[in-house]
Amino acid sequence: MPNQFKIDRRAVLKGMAGVALPLPLLEVMGKEVVEETPRRFCALYIANGMALPDKKLGIDDWSWFPQVGEDGEFVFGRSTDPLAPYRKKLSFLGGLQHDNGPRNDPHVCSDMWLTGAPLHDPAPGTYNTVGLDQVVARHTRHQCRRPSLVLSIDAGTGYTSRTATVSYDGKGKPIPAENNPRRIFEGLFKGNRGTLDAQRAQLRQRMKLVDAVFENARMLDRRLGRTDRDKMEEYMTSLNEFETRLEASERWLDIPLKKQDYSHLDLDASPEVDPELYYQTMMDLVALAFDADITRSVTFMMNREDGMGISDTFPLKLGMSQTHHSMSHKKDKKGLLEWGRYDRFLSEQLAYLLKRLNGFHDKRGSVLDNTIVLYGSGASTTHKNTNLPTLVAGGANMGLKHGRFIEGGGRMTDMYLSILHSMGIAVESFGDSRGTMSNSIFSV
């Protein structure tokens, strides 16, 4: 394949806005296998914030953030107690915020959740910056089959402030998300079932096709107006991601996948029919992908901001009286109790993922011990952009010390820098970070 586009892409990644990268590590090529225990990252995004009732309502036990007991230990609230079995493997972080948080439209928070970019009043033609998950992907992509797995309740990218993805590449462009369990499974675990020679020939043919499309797209781009050029840029980003997957597929073609049990999967699970089954199927796919070391970077946007998409109706399907976005505007006791019940449902889905990750054995410890799981929202209650609900789980073998509720606050980007350092990714900064977190769950 022509090398020009690859070289350009690496140059962008090394100079991408929002993150300072050191010289890259030597790349592992061909069939070489990395022997150390994998270090992984998973981010799960919840839209519209979490229920944080006013104390005067007398329902503190339904607050998403835990209470602190007389012994100094935190006490799970009713919306998070499904996570109690993993108390020693998770922590709550309070008071965090993005200093560049939304100022006009509170729903811009999903765009910047993993980037920390200043997206308020953006100048025409400006974009986001690179996301935390993609920095991880950049540093781990040669150690696994797929640089990253980008999932969402709704496929695609959505649009600014109403995104359908929380992943942004080195140019700050949104990375299209996948949402169909069967297609995700086929892409991760099955692929072409022909002989190795047939698979290799097919891959090379597809690479030639991608090169031809790139060339045609470049020629067409010069004749387009600004609006169409932006659309073409998004298409090129998708094509770029596809090309990267093809290259990775060829490198790993001769290395068999780990044998796993897929018999429990319901690949026809539909969010419109059974939200819980759908979520758990998606969590299964994430856990299986980590266990097989197919990827080391995953994002899953579990619902969208401002009533967008199918997930807004999930509370109604669960017997509640309001949609998710409507709940997030309630300040009365009845409304907040329903919101808390829905938070509990989402906590159950997180607990399911932690159970699956904890059940898979790694070279050292469990897959959960070698995975940092970030769960949270880009807003707190009723769209405020301070005190962002944040939970971090796993990562025991990366030095994380859990079982704590830390209310010290600070910048989200400082926490992101701590996550990167815990993973052995020695970047100097991330976004507007001022340094790593102090007095925290992180040891670096």
* Domains in the chain: ranges and CATH: 4-190+264-430 (3.40.720.10)
Residue 232's pLDDT is: 66
Q: Report CA Rg, the chain.
A: 21
pLDDT tens digit at each of 444 positions of the chain: 444 333 333 333 333 444 443 333 333 333 344 458 999 999 999 999 999 999 999 999 999 999 998 888 999 999 999 999 999 999 999 999 998 877 667 778 899 999 999 876 666 666 799 999 999 999 998 899 899 999 999 999 998 889 999 999 998 999 999 999 999 999 999 854 555 556 566 656 666 666 666 677 667 666 666 667 666 666 667 666 666 666 666 667 778 889 999 999 999 999 999 999 999 999 999 999 999 999 999 999 999 998 999 999 999 999 999 999 999 999 999 999 999 999 999 999 999 999 999 999 998 999 999 999 999 999 998 778 899 999 999 999 999 999 999 998 899 999 999 999 999 999 999 999 999 998 899 997
205 CA to centre of own chain? 32
Q: What is the pTM of this model?
A: 0.82
Residue 100's pLDDT is: 85
Per-residue tokens: 101: 């948080």
Q: How far apart are CA 117 and CA 18, in angstroms?
A: 7
Q: What is the dihedral of CA 287, 132, 171, 169, to 10 degrees?
A: 0
User: Could you tell me where the DSSP H helices lie in 222-332?
Assistant: 226-251, 275-291, 314-317, 324-327
